[in-house]
Every structure is written in structure tokens, then in C-alpha cells.
Amino acid sequence: MRRPPVQALRGLDLEVPRGQVFGLLGPNGAGKTTLVKILLAIAWPTRGGAQVLGRRPGDVRAKERIGYLPENHRYPPHLTGEQVLHYFGMLSGVRQPERSRRVEALLRRVRMAEWRATRVHKYSKGMLQRLGMAQALLNEPELLILDEPTDGVDPIGRREIRDVLLEQRGRGVTIFLNSHLLSEVERICDRVAILKEGRLVRQGGVEDLTRPSSVYQVEARGLPADALARLAAAFPGLRAAGGRLELAGDLSSLNRLIDALRRDGAEIAAILPRKESLEDVFVQVVGEGETP
């Protein structure tokens, strides 16, 4: 029996500005990997088209300006980390002695210099990710396409990789990032797009998508035990949450609440506008049924 065809992408219209870090998000099966394969000319669309660095996917003049780190990448296990980088450097057309200079600098930058002579079959997942990052940067790309670059990397390693990516953005590199670690995406990306069932359902700047809502968290100390019930009756949008008071309302309501707390003898330790995380936005769009 033949399996029915799957339409991986439908009506996708997406533009990534130069010099930005762009995050591609979506649940498994949303079409993220298919899109990356189309951009790299590993797969071809049945309809529509794409441009990468102003050229059609597959154009050698564009591909030589791209660095790519796929998910679950594999290297010949008998090679050392240094030999892997020289191998990919030769494939990218980087000649000696420039190739040796870049290999040496990148091994130090991703903190793999002491493992340079170790065969990669002895590397941990995190070490392979660091080596993969160095490999993707060998040709000094203008466009860096990364699929789960911090998968299997410990928190210190994730910060170091994040710093490397910020350095690349600082020199004008465009970074196209596919990751399930939404906290990392939120920290590094300028813009994101969310795919669902092959369609683009949300895109925009990270700051715009996660901007504070009209909900305020107030940390009050020394509040009498009987005060909360009175305050809840006076402020319908008030509730206790995680040891703080949370008020849904405008600035006028917030200031009236502060006055009431002070009348009850409470000390105001903090007032914070509640900001949605990128994970909150993602769950709302994907998990709660926003239709494509």
C-alpha cells in the first residue's frame, strides 16, 4: 500500500533580513527541516521558489558563502577533531596556510584545543556540537544555518556557543537558527517565525512577541493575614500567585492597590510587569489551537 503524500510546506512566505539572528520554531513535523533542505538545495519544492543570499538554492556562488551545522551530524570516527576541520576546510576550498590558522583559532574559540588529537568517536555529544560549530565557521560564512546547535550541550557550553553566535552577528553574519530550546532562542534571536502544519502562523521581533501585558506582579511584605480577602473584594483582577500579588488592570488600578497595601502597613519590595516568555507564546500558538 502506498502512503498518501505529505504536504510539508503550504503557502510559506518568509524573508530573513541580513545581519540578524532569525529563529525558526515549530513542533515536530511542522516543516522546519524541509525548509532548511530547500534552502540548501537538498530538497526541491514542487511549487514556488526561494532565494539564498540573492541567488537560487544550489548556486555554488551562494553555497560557498554558507556555513551549515545539521542536527545529529556525523564525522568519520577515525579522524581527530583537528583532522575533521582540515577535511572540511579542504572541501570548502580554504588553502594552506590560511586553513591551519583558522583551524587553530576555531579550536581555541570553541574550547576544543586540548582534544584536537583525540579521535571523534571518543567525543561526547556536547564535544561534537562544539566541533560542529567550528566546522560551520571554517569558511567564514555570510549565512550560518544551524539546526539544534546546543543539543546535548551543558549550560556553560550553551552560553559559550551563544557568545560565539553573538560575535558572528557582530561581524554582520546572518544566522538562521532552528531550535527547540526556546529560552536560548529568546536570548539570542532578533526575530522568530513559528510554523504549524507547514504554514507560517506567527512571526515578528522577539521583543514584540513577548512584550509585557497589562498584568502586574507586586511583592508586598508584612501584609496582615486578613488583608488579602479585603483587597480581593476591592480589586476584582487581583489574585495571589507564587508568593506575590498579581493584578490584571491599568496603571490607575496598580497605584490604588499600592495605596491600599501601604494603608495596611505592607512594604512594597518589587513591582514587575508580567512579560510573556517565548515559550508562553509558542504554547499559545501551537498548543492551544491557533489555526494555520
- One digit per residue, the tens of pLDDT, for the chain of length 292 reads 577 777 888 888 999 999 999 999 998 888 998 999 999 999 998 888 899 999 999 999 999 999 999 988 899 999 999 999 999 999 999 999 999 999 999 999 999 999 999 999 999 999 999 999 999 999 999 999 999 888 888 898 899 999 999 999 999 999 999 988 888 898 899 999 999 999 999 999 998 888 777 788 999 998 887 888 889 889 988 988 777 898 988 889 999 999 999 998 999 999 988 777 888 888 888 876 555 4
Nearest to 36 by CA among 54, 16, 17: 16
pLDDT confidence of residue 113 = 97
pLDDT confidence of residue 81 = 97
Give yes or no for a contact between 273 and 212, defined as CB atoms under 8 angstroms apart. yes
Angle between helices 125-137 and 155-170 (to 10 degrees): 10
The set of cell numbers assigned to 230 is: 479585603
Domains of the chain, with CATH numbers? 21-208 (3.40.50.300), 213-275 (3.30.70.1150)
Distance of CA 266 to the CA centre of its chain: 41
Question: Can you tell me the distance from the alpha carbon of 236 to that of 249, in angstroms, rounded to the nearest whole number?
Answer: 9
This prediction has a pTM of 0.81
Nearest to 174 by CA among 52, 89, 9, 283: 52
Nearest to 56 by CA among 68, 67, 44, 46: 44
pLDDT confidence of residue 288 = 63
pLDDT confidence of residue 28 = 85
**Alpha-carbon distances of 281 from 46, 158, 186, 209, 274, rounded to whole Å:** 31, 23, 11, 7, 13
pLDDT confidence of residue 290 = 54
Give yes or no for a contact between 53 and 65, defined as CB atoms under 8 angstroms apart. yes
**Alpha-carbon distances of 277 from 79, 198, 274, rounded to whole Å:** 42, 24, 9
Nearest to 28 by CA among 48, 4, 14, 8: 8
Give yes or no for a contact between 110 and 94, defined as CB atoms under 8 angstroms apart. no
